[in-house]
Amino acid sequence: MTATAHTPRVFSGIKPSGDVTLGNYLGAIKRWSEMQGPTFETIYCVVDLHAITVWQEPSELANATREVTAAMLASGIDPEKSILFNQSQVHAHAELAWIFNCVARVGWMNRMTQFKDKAGKNAEQVSLGLYAYPALMAADVLLYHATHVPVGEDQKQHVELMRDIATKFNNDFKAPDFFPTPEPIIEGPSTRVMNLRDGTKKMSKSGDSDMERINMTDDADTISKKFKKARTDPEPLPETLEGLKDRPEARNLVDIYAGLSSTTPETVIAEYAGAGWGRFKPALADLAVAKLSPISSEMARLMNDPAEIDRILARGAERAEEIAQPILEKTYELVGMLRTR
Ligand code: TYM
């Protein structure tokens, strides 16, 4: 069997840590919603085991998990079409991650740029989980024999590593093509949404200032204010995309506009060539409010009924487990573990 002989299946995940940002929405959740349909089976996971690789307040974690779930549901992820669940409810993730900890090499982990960025000068003090994080991520995807992984640009290296883990496992245990080598899907204008105050840094949930990111829960006034205050250069928008080279903040706002309106940066430039920020920023703010307000109101409505969110996650976890458990059992068998029941 070749890797392509595996059922086309999408898996992706998001951490319940901090607010869901416009980067998460454009780089991931919006695209996940668009991938539901006849081509792929789609499995989306709120990865709470990943979240605790850095400290999460226990009293807040459950609610953060519900909030990310609400953001996904409000953005069009349909629990009838997709399997939607939180990671810790399907034990097989942690179990397969352990096996992959024993397959992956320390040298591979040492090359992970995200670990280096997150650990910084503090590498001796961060959790062992943060270091082993990419092996858990590989387990998430390979547990379902998923073939495609839609993510933002920042996750590319982790998806490449899971391909290495799959290949090494298949070789070590003489099981050709048991695990597929999943393809990253990093497409569209918004695979790297940047910080609104510094166009060379990624927009992230954990940045210092709230003004540098748009949160999915921001109200219309806050969204408008943040875009109006976003850093830019004094030049108007150029005639062609080439003219945005070396203008990271300007490029970012054009990309965000393209992502929100589901078009291309070229189309945005064609429409706004020569426009100053006094025209472009209010247009972008209006577009963002028009697209995000319905999502944030739906999130608020869903968060008023946590029991319904919990039911959706419970059902999703049951469906996920039906796929995961036989693959985990087969993995144990290939590794040679004694199974007596
Ligand atoms: P996380 O929670 O940091 O982000 C979730 C998704 O959002 C994307 N993203 C962005 N895309 C564009 N611009 C941005 N500024 C931006 N910020 C975040 C991320 O690329 C990601 O796709 N390790 C993963 C979660 C994970 C996972 C997995 C993903 C765990 N297991 C298995 C895929 C498959 C993470 O921390 O994502």
Type and span of the H or E element at 82: strand 82-86
Instruction: Tell me how far the alpha carbon of residue 156 lies from the centroid of ligand 1, in angstroms.
Output: 10
Local structure of 164: helix, strand or coil = helix
> In whole angstroms, what is the distance from residue 92 CA to residue 113 CA?
27
Catalytic residue among 81, 156, 168, 205: 205
For residues 223 and 196, the answer to whether their CB atoms sit within 8 Å is no
Q: Tally the C-alpha atoms within 13 A of residue 275's C-alpha that lie toward its C-beta.
A: 16
How far apart are the CA of 140 and the centre of ligand 1, in A?
13
The string of pLDDT tens digits covering residues 69-115 is: 999 999 999 999 999 999 999 999 999 999 999 999 999 999 999 99
Query: Which ligand 1 atom lies nearest to the CA of residue 194?
Result: 15
Q: What is the pLDDT of residues 268-316, one digit of tens each?
A: 999 999 999 999 999 999 999 999 999 999 999 999 999 999 999 999 9
- Whether 151 lines ligand 1, by a CB cut-off of 6 Å, is yes
User: Could you tell me which of 79, 132, 66 has the C-alpha nearest to residue 306?
Assistant: 66
The yes-or-no answer on residue 202 being catalytic is: yes
Q: What is the DSSP letter of 194?
A: B
d(Cα 146, Cα 40) in Å, to the nearest integer?
A: 10
Residue 50 beta carbon below 6 angstroms from any ligand 1 atom: yes
pTM of the model: 0.96
Strand partners, 149: 184
149 lines ligand 1 (CB under 6 A): yes
Q: Is the CB of 13 inside a 6 Å radius of any atom of ligand 1?
A: yes
Q: Determine the distance from the C-alpha atom of residue 117 to the mean position of all C-alpha atoms in its chain, rounded to a whole number.
A: 18
pLDDT in tens, 177-190: 999 999 999 999 99
β-strand partners of 82: 42
